[in-house]
Amino acid sequence: MTARVLALVVLLAASLQAQVTFDRILHPEKEPQNWLSYSGSLFNQRFSPLTQITTVSAKNLELQWIWQAKSLEKYEATSIVVDGVLYTVQAPNDVVALDAVTGRPYWTFTYENLPEARVCCGRVNRGVAVLGDMVYMGTLDAHLLALDAKTGRLLWKTQVAKTGERYAITHAPTIVKDKVIVGTAGGDFGARGIVAAFDAKTGKEVWRIHTIPGPGEPGNETWSGESWKTGGAGVWNSGAYDPETNLVFFGTGNPAPDWDGRQRLGDNLYSDSVLALDADTGALKWHYQFTPHDEVDYDSTQVPVLADINWRGRPRKVMLWANRNGLSYVLDRVTGEFLLGKPFVKVNWMDGFDPKGRPQRVPGKVPTKEGSMVMPTVLGATNWAPPSYSPRTNLFYVGAWENTGTVLTEGLSPRAVGRNPMGQSTLTANLNKQEDGYGVIRALDPQTLEKKWDFPMNDITWGGVLTTAGDVLFSGGKEGYFFALDARTGALLWKVALGGQINSGPMSYSVNGRQYVTVAAGTGLFTFALRQ
């Protein structure tokens, strides 16, 4: 190649920042250099088609830059990269645009939440979304904002739910066609969950649903008395979208009060469920409840992972799910049919499924007067951190907590709902000794939901998982290690101590032909590439 041609190629590679059409978001495989949605695609596979970093070259990864958030909150955001510009969130709700090569700032948008904004579990944000030339973020005071992607100027701001009613938005919005879709957190406070869609250009509301049906709606009868009003079922992680069925999928959180079901008898629909909604209207097409009448806080707010796989001999459109309740699932995402379910860690609260996929409970594995050890722990076999599916290895990868439990002890009397939304039970975590629990990156075969390999860690993990077309898996844990594994075998290829807990999912992008991988640890964003 002549120098002139090479120069031209380099020039083209430094591509112009074009409008992010929905078609681009829907087809990330056409532009592997970018990362245009929370989990890299609306199928949430968190799989990068980039191939420069391989199982052979990963040992040559080296630090390129660090960007440090001026925030002491946990850094849970996954970055978005559009044509060399990286968008991230400085918790709780400042948006920052950085040069993806140098980590140097283009602009910062600062947002001050209303003083009444309250969250149960950290003033965090899991990322932004992009469409057109706008950047979208949900806020702790339950607003949705649109910013100019080039300048960071606020273009519109819409209140999604009332801040004073303890609603908040912590997850990255989900873009579907010309809409921005968000859900509300606050379930632990009893705030009745909402999913709502807004016109991306104007911020005008298009539809909204409640995750707990109101009187007269199917499912309302699964709540005793008036408990549906304060039943929680928040939505605090991104959704998935399937263009063929035009369904958007969201996982819902636990029912409230969290650890005490005495005042909310019944299955408590649609808590701990996945909802399949018509993306244009919000109409509920199907649902599957992972944990009926949950008293252990088994949120189902993991991101739904969609895959088109050959499943037991025939092509099938499935949804893969490793749940906080310790069970992994294969569902038919067109119909919601339960295809397969199996524990992926030690589980003692259920011992099988009925033909429709309802878990069969083990008696006594609920809060009792004497205290009952329930496994997995109240923090879950996995939590919200995003998993990965590699279409190359056909494996489903989960950051999991193995062999953990919580002793649930029932309170003397059920508290009035709303006064103590977490419940009257007391919890004793069983995480203290190494043999009692540990973190693991676990590779599951969707055909059987059996594990193919494990990469155990000394401590538990809040880290998400990224896989790449170089067959490299990236993840990290609470100890602050960021590491690369062979996605086929789980063998350790490379590691670095980042000195802060990893609370997010890694992602990968490239600029001018160089592949980068980025992860947040502590309050910093760390970016690596192969040594040149």
Quote the least distance from Cβ 132 to other proteins, whole Å.
11
For other proteins, which is the closer residue by CB, 30 or 104? Answer: 104
Residue in 66, 121, 154, 283 binding other proteins, rule: CB under 8 A: 154
Among 153, 162, 204, 312, binds other proteins (CB under 8 A): 153
User: Under the criterion CB under 8 A, does residue 150 sit at the interface with other proteins?
Assistant: yes
What's the closest the beta carbon of residue 101 comes to other proteins, in angstroms?
Answer: 6
Of 99 and 178, nearer to other proteins (C-beta) is: 99
From the candidates 94, 260, 297, 486, give the one annotated as an active-site residue. Answer: 297
Q: Binder to other proteins among 148, 217, 332, 459 (CB under 8 A)?
A: 148
- Contacts with other proteins: how many residues (CB under 8 A)? 21
Q: Which stretch binds other proteins (CB under 8 A): 46-54, 154-162, 444-452, 478-486?
A: 154-162
The residue (of 156 and 353) whose beta carbon lies closer to other proteins is: 156
Sole window of 120-128, 153-161, 169-177, 363-371 interacting with other proteins (rule: CB under 8 A): 153-161
From CA 391, how far away is CA 234, in angstroms rounded? 31
Strand order of the β-sheet with 205-210 is 174-176, 179-183, 194-199, 205-210
CB of 7 to other proteins, least distance (A): 7
Closer Cβ to other proteins, 155 or 362, answer by number: 155
Site string for other proteins, 156-195 (x = CB under 8 A): xx--------------------------------------
CB within 8 A of 419, min separation 6: which ones?
A: none
Beta strands in 39-84 (DSSP E): 47-48, 61-68, 80-82
> Where on the phi/psi map is residue 500: left (φ > 0), alpha (ψ -120 to 50), or beta?
beta
Give all strands of the β-sheet with 129-131 in edge-to-edge order.
129-131, 134-138, 143-148, 154-159
Rounded to whole angstroms, what are the CA distances from 378 to 26, 83, 288, 428?
35, 41, 21, 9
The label of the residue with tokens 């991101």 reads 303
Site for other proteins in 3-22 (CB under 8 A): 7, 16-17
- By CB under 8 A, the residues from 49 to 108 that bind other proteins are 84-85, 97, 99, 101-102, 104-107
DSSP string, 81-93: EETTEEEEEETTT
Distance CA 258, CA 233 (A): 10
Query: Measuring CA to CA, how many Å separate 519 from each of 68, 250, 390?
Result: 12, 24, 19
Of the listed pieces 155-163, 244-252, 367-375, 477-485, which binds other proteins according to CB under 8 A?
Answer: 155-163
State yes or no: is 297 an active-site residue.
yes
Instruction: Looking at residues 210 to 269 of the shown chain, list those that interact with other proteins (rule: CB under 8 A).
Output: none
Q: Smallest distance, Å, CB 285 to other proteins?
A: 35
For residue 5, report the phi and psi dihedrals to the nearest 5 degrees.
Answer: -65, -40
Region of 33-41, 145-153, 402-410, 502-510 interacting with other proteins (CB under 8 A):
145-153
Report the distance separating Cα 323 and Cα 304, nearest Å. 10
Q: Which is nearer to other proteins, 154 or 283 (CB)?
A: 154
| Contact assessment for residue 415 and residue 373, using Cβ atoms and an 8 Å cutoff | no
Q: Is the CB of 24 or the CB of 324 nearer to other proteins?
A: 24
Q: Which residues pair with 332 in a beta bridge?
A: 318
* Residue 96 and residue 108 in contact, taking contact as beta carbons nearer than 8 Å: yes
Per CB under 8 A, the segment of 144-152, 337-345, 361-369, 520-528 that binds other proteins is 144-152
Q: With beta carbons less than 8 A apart as the criterion, state whether 473 and 397 touch.
A: yes
Residue placing its CB nearer to other proteins in the complex, 155 or 206:
155
Residue type, 101: V
Of the candidate spans 149-157, 253-261, 326-334, 358-366, the one that interacts with other proteins by CB under 8 A turns out to be 149-157
**DSSP of 4-32, one letter per residue?**
HHHHHHHHHHS-----B-HHHHH-GGG-T
Q: Is 286 in the site for other proteins (CB under 8 A)?
A: no
What CA–CA distance (Å, rounded) separates 323 from 398? 10
Nearer to other proteins by Cβ, of 30 and 157: the residue is 157
Q: Determine if 339 is a binding residue for other proteins (CB under 8 A).
A: no
Tell which one of 13, 54, 122, 155 touches other proteins (CB under 8 A): 155
- The owner of tokens 């807990």 is 501
Among residue numbers 406 through 425, which ones bind other proteins (CB under 8 A)? Answer: none
Q: Write b or e for each residue in 219-240: b if 16 or more Cβ atoms lie within 10 A of its Cβ, otherwise e.
A: beebbeeebbebbbbbbbbbbb
Please tell me the distance from the alpha carbon of residue 171 to that of residue 38, in angstroms, as a whole number. Answer: 9
Nearest approach in angstroms of CB 83 to other proteins is 9
**Of the two residues 7 and 491, which places its CB atom closer to other proteins in the complex?**
7
β-bridge mates for residue 485, sequence order: 473, 492
First to last CA, the chain: 20
Per CB under 8 A, contacts with other proteins among 104-133 are: 104-107
The set of catalytic residues is 297
Interface residue list for other proteins (CB under 8 A): 7, 16-17, 84-85, 97, 99, 101-102, 104-107, 148, 150-151, 153-157
